[in-house]
């Protein structure tokens, strides 16, 4: 601190903070570090960056944005094939990206979990099995024409069932016009090819002419492979295969196209499947991690190499997650391997937090079978939560049970009405009812308690490493489910990490570091703890209004931190203002009115300074302009299991944080024709701007903030004022203290 002539009390405070800062600095160098400082609250997964599709950008601007929105940690899934080359050597470029990301995370006072997501001998899919399309049911299944004209695809009787292919039904592809690109395609393949699994696409084929057939393979990252097969004898069944392995190794194939490539040619196709064998149909793959000693030693070796790269990072910055969603034949198999791997890590890092989940996809129902080494308090248990999958994975293409459902669903309550349920096929009824018919917050809590109780019995921290809801789920149900899971986690003090940053589960537009769905962030945010426009968190906050400035529905009712009092504009359905004084300047990132009766059209203005009479000097242009119906967003606020009223949240994440001490909500038109807007609370996220200290989210230690503008005037509490105003008040300017006379 550079201020001079500070009073004795302020000096004692400053000295104390400096001493605490020195202690934190000492700790951060590892000389007296405590792993207990690694506690997780609100996080997000950065999937598809160094894992799976590996097609997502991740920049420092993203970390800065997440930190500003009060996320305190990120989970970084990494795959063996991304960090290591095919010969087992380290991929220098990928490790450099990982180290760079960790430096951003540390710079912005967050924490990180490095999660070993997929390895060659284990995929959380739990082994793999190819489709086998034999067409004996008389249906074309997922095979369709790749053009609306000039091509016909149908299932027909086998024209030559006496030869090598004795199937009754086969797929028939016929060109009705000259074309060398038209054919039949199969989408939603979702098969990953590798050196030891599904290296080949096997098939039986009969062609009306000699010449090539072209196979086009498309992977989920956009990569394509073209392969040809030369038919040398016409009108004769041949069993053969082609292999996209050399171009698409480790990639997930999403679409296959088969083209006759001849003028007016016909194809008959049968028994199409991926195989691990060049000579037979080996369509199922077992995961060697659970059956091979060599594979388990390789897994432990991977962690030794990862540890050599990561062990220099502070223990309050980084944790290791052993394996994403293990799928061992028995829980005991996973427990043994986890213990062996942990023992190797502990030889060099006894205090590093290591995260271990339950068998079978980190399922809460498997927690009773999870065992970890006793006496190690630096273990964090983790679970993933997507129950019920009908709600969270509705119409997800990779889950065949729900991919083609069109029946309406809802949460909370009866997920599918009885009438709709009874109209479903038996197979769809079984899928819909597989986890139950009715779900609400109480049922979700009962499920999650299985993991919570296990962790409490062992005296260990527990963390929800993944939860999320796919964007095909109806909007209202999706938001309510996310909100319920986040609230349950907060009620039990559990850190929770949203899946995902981008994509169908995410909330960020790729490449531009911009929030595209503020409602997803709003549903997870801990407003009870973070709202700077609430008297519960900020005793300096004050509120004013042009209508009902005080009284039963006075302006202050929207900042009292309770959800059964509100400010109301009475019967003013036209223009009126409500504004808040935060007590000091903040860099504001997110603003969310919590309406009882919403303003159909409104604007939000900000100010950093006030006029001599105390009225804020509002910005000439609004920082937010809103005009829409909010009826579909109506939800019920629940705090400690007590419903406290229905509300309409309307969150706004600013692309660039705006400096503000004063925030004004101007109603232009009420959503009601007879009553003005009514506000339960105003939620604001922001970080202090100007001379102050802040709490490091990782260590809990005070750090010196940016230096003050030497010409600006501040109170002793660090609040900037436009000019000295009150006689007898002490102010600070340019590092010197003076008293106004």
Residue 646: predicted pLDDT:
74
Q: Which has the minimum average pLDDT: 374-378, 677-681, 686-690?
A: 686-690
Residue 122: predicted pLDDT:
86
Structural tokens at position 692: 């102050």
The mean pLDDT of 709-726, rounded to a whole number, is 52
The mean pLDDT of 570-598, rounded to a whole number, is 94
Q: Report helix, strand or coil for 547.
A: coil
Question: What tens digit of pLDDT does each residue of 364-373 get?
Answer: 999 999 999 9
pLDDT band at 648 (very low <50, low <70, confident <90, very high): confident
Q: What are phi and psi of 649, to 5 degrees?
A: -80, 145
CATH architecture of 128-285: Sandwich (2.60)
pLDDT band at 466 (very low <50, low <70, confident <90, very high): very high
pLDDT band at 636 (very low <50, low <70, confident <90, very high): low
Question: What tens digit of pLDDT does each residue of 410-429 get?
Answer: 999 999 999 999 999 999 99
Is the pLDDT reported for residue 442 higher than 90?
yes
The mean pLDDT of 721-737, rounded to a whole number, is 55
Give the CB-side neighbour count of residue 380, counting CA atoms within 13 A: 29
Q: Report helix, strand or coil for 66.
A: helix
Q: Which helix (H) or strand (E) holds 545?
A: strand 542-545
Q: Which helix (H) or strand (E) holds 238?
A: strand 238-242
| DSSP structure string for 376-426 | -TTEEEEEEE--SHHHHTTT-TT-HHHHT--S---SSEESS-HHHHHTS-H
User: What is the average pLDDT value for the chain, to the nearest integer?
Assistant: 86
pLDDT band at 24 (very low <50, low <70, confident <90, very high): very low
Residue 191: predicted pLDDT:
87
CA dist 224 and 217 (Å) reads: 6
Residue 221: predicted pLDDT:
80
Residue 227: predicted pLDDT:
93
CA 637 to chain centre: 23
Q: Does domain 33-125+290-524 have CATH number 2.120.10.90?
A: no
User: What sign results for the dihedral spanned by CA atoms 306, 310, 312, 318?
Assistant: negative
**Is the distance from CB of 221 to CB of 55 less than 8 angstroms?**
yes
**Is the distance from CB of 451 to CB of 358 less than 8 angstroms?**
yes
Q: Which helix (H) or strand (E) holds 191?
A: strand 184-192
- Residue ranges per structural domain of the chain: 1-32+708-741, 33-125+290-524, 128-285, 528-695
The mean pLDDT of 401-411, rounded to a whole number, is 94
Considering only CA atoms, which of 533, 535, 531, 523 is closest in space to residue 488? 523
Is the pLDDT reported for residue 14 higher than 50?
no
Is the pLDDT reported for residue 637 higher than 90?
no
Structural tokens at position 562: 């309770």
Q: What are phi and psi of 50, to 5 degrees?
A: -115, 30
Question: What tens digit of pLDDT does each residue of 207-234 get?
Answer: 999 999 999 999 888 889 999 999 999 9
Is the pLDDT reported for residue 16 higher than 80?
no
Measured N-to-C along each axis, helices 441-458 and 475-491 cross at an angle, to the nearest 10 degrees, of 30
Considering only CA atoms, which of 550, 623, 633 is closest in space to residue 594? 633
The mean pLDDT of 239-261, rounded to a whole number, is 89
pLDDT band at 559 (very low <50, low <70, confident <90, very high): very high
Residue 706: predicted pLDDT:
33
The mean pLDDT of 175-190, rounded to a whole number, is 89
User: What sign results for the dihedral spanned by CA atoms 180, 184, 188, 193?
Assistant: negative
Q: From the DSSP assignment, how many helices (H) and strands (E) are in the chain?
A: 16, 40
Residue 700: predicted pLDDT:
40
Residue matched to tokens 């030559």: 160
Question: What tens digit of pLDDT does each residue of 119-137 get?
Answer: 988 876 666 678 889 999 8
Measured N-to-C along each axis, helices 331-346 and 293-310 cross at an angle, to the nearest 10 degrees, of 40
Residue 13: predicted pLDDT:
35
Between vectors from CA 516 to CA 531 and to CA 513, what angle results, nearest 5°?
90
Residue % of the chain over a pLDDT of 70: 85
Q: Which helix (H) or strand (E) holds 335?
A: helix 331-346
The mean pLDDT of 308-325, rounded to a whole number, is 97
The mean pLDDT of 252-276, rounded to a whole number, is 90
- The two domains 33-125+290-524 and 528-695 share their CATH topology (first three levels equal): no
Dihedral angle, C-alpha 547, 553, 556, 557, nearest 10 ° = -140
Considering only CA atoms, which of 87, 101, 103, 108 is closest in space to residue 51? 101
Top CATH class of 528-695 equals mainly beta
Looking at per-residue pLDDT, the higher value among 108 and 671 belongs to 108
Looking at per-residue pLDDT, the higher value among 13 and 466 belongs to 466
**Is the distance from CB of 259 to CB of 180 less than 8 angstroms?**
yes
Between vectors from CA 119 to CA 48 and to CA 471, what angle results, nearest 5°?
30
Structural tokens at position 112: 């990180």
Is the pLDDT reported for residue 405 higher than 60?
yes
């Amino acid at each position: 601190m550079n201020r001079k002539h500070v009073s004795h009390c302020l000096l004692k405070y400053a000295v104390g903070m400096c001493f605490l800062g020195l202690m934190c600095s000492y700790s951060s160098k590892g000389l007296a570090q405590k792993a207990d400082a690694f506690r997780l609250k609100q996080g997000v997964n950065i999937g598809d960056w160094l894992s799976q599709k590996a097609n997502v950008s991740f920049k420092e601007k993203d970390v800065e944005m997440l930190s500003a929105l009060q996320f305190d940690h990120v989970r970084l899934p990494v795959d063996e094939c991304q960090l290591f080359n095919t010969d087992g050597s380290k991929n220098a470029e990928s490790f450099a990206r990982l180290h760079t990301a960790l430096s951003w995370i540390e710079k912005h006072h967050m924490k990180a979990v490095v999660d070993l997501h997929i390895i060659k001998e284990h995929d959380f899919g739990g082994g793999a099995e190819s489709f086998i399309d034999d067409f004996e049911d008389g249906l074309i299944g997922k095979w369709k024409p790749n053009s609306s004209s000039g091509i016909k695809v149908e299932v027909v009787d086998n024209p030559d069932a006496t030869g090598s292919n004795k199937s009754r039904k086969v797929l028939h592809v016929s060109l009705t016009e000259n074309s060398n690109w038209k054919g039949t395609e199969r989408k939603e393949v979702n098969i990953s090819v590798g050196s030891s699994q599904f290296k080949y696409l096997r098939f039986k084929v009969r062609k009306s002419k000699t010449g090539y057939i072209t196979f086009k393979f498309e992977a989920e990252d956009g990569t394509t492979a073209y392969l040809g097969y030369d038919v040398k004898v016409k009108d004769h069944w041949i069993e053969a295969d082609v292999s996209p392995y050399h171009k698409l190794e480790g990639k997930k194939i999403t679409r296959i196209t088969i083209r006759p490539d001849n003028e007016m040619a016909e194809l008959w196709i049968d028994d199409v499947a991926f195989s691990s064998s060049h000579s037979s149909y080996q369509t199922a793959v077992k995961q060697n991690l659970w059956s091979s000693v060599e594979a388990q030693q390789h897994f432990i070796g991977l962690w030794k190499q990862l540890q050599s790269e990561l062990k220099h990072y502070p223990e309050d910055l980084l944790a290791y997650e052993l394996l994403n969603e293990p799928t061992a034949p028995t829980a005991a198999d996973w427990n043994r391997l986890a213990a062996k791997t942990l023992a190797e890590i502990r030889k060099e890092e006894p205090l590093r937090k290591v995260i271990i989940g339950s068998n079978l996809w980190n399922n809460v129902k498997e927690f009773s079978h999870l065992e970890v080494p006793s006496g190690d308090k630096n273990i964090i248990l983790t679970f993933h939560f997507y129950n019920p999958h009908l709600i969270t994975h509705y119409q997800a293409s990779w889950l065949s049970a729900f991919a083609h459902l069109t029946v309406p669903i809802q949460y909370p309550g009866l997920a599918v009405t009885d009438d709709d349920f009874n109209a479903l096929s038996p197979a769809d009824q079984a899928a819909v009812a597989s986890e139950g018919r009715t779900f609400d917050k109480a049922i979700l809590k009962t499920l999650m308690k299985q993991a919570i109780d296990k962790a409490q019995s062992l005296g260990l921290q527990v963390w929800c490493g993944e939860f999320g809801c796919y964007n095909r789920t109806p909007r209202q149900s999706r938001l309510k489910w996310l909100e319920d899971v986040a609230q349950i986690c907060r009620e039990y003090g559990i850190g929770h990490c949203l899946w995902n940053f981008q994509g169908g589960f995410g909330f960020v537009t790729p490449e531009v570091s911009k929030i595209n769905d503020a409602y997803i962030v709003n549903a997870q945010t801990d407003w009870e703890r973070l709202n700077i426009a609430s008297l519960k968190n900020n005793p300096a906050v004050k509120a004013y209004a042009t209508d009902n400035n005080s009284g039963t529905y006075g302006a202050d009712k929207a900042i009292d931190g309770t959800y059964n009092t509100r400010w109301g504009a009475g019967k003013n359905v036209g223009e009126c203002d409500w504004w808040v004084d935060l007590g000091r300047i903040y860099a504001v990132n997110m603003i969310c009115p919590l309406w009882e009766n919403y303003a159909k059209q409104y604007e939000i203005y900000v100010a950093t300074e006030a006029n001599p009479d105390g009225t804020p000097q509002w910005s000439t242009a609004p920082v937010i302009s809103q005009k829409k119906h909010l009826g579909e967003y109506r939800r019920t606020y629940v705090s400690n299991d007590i419903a406290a009223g229905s509300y309409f949240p309307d969150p706004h994440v600013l692309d660039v944080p705006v400096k503000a001490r004063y925030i004004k909500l101007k109603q232009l038109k009420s959503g009601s024709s007879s009553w003005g807007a009514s506000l339960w609370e105003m939620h604001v996220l922001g970080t202090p701007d100007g001379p102050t200290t802040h709490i490091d989210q990782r260590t809990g230690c005070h750090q010196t903030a940016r230096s003050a503008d030497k010409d600006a005037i501040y109170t002793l509490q660090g609040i900037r004022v436009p000019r000295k105003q009150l006689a007898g008040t002490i102010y600070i300017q340019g590092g010197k203290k003076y008293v106004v006379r």
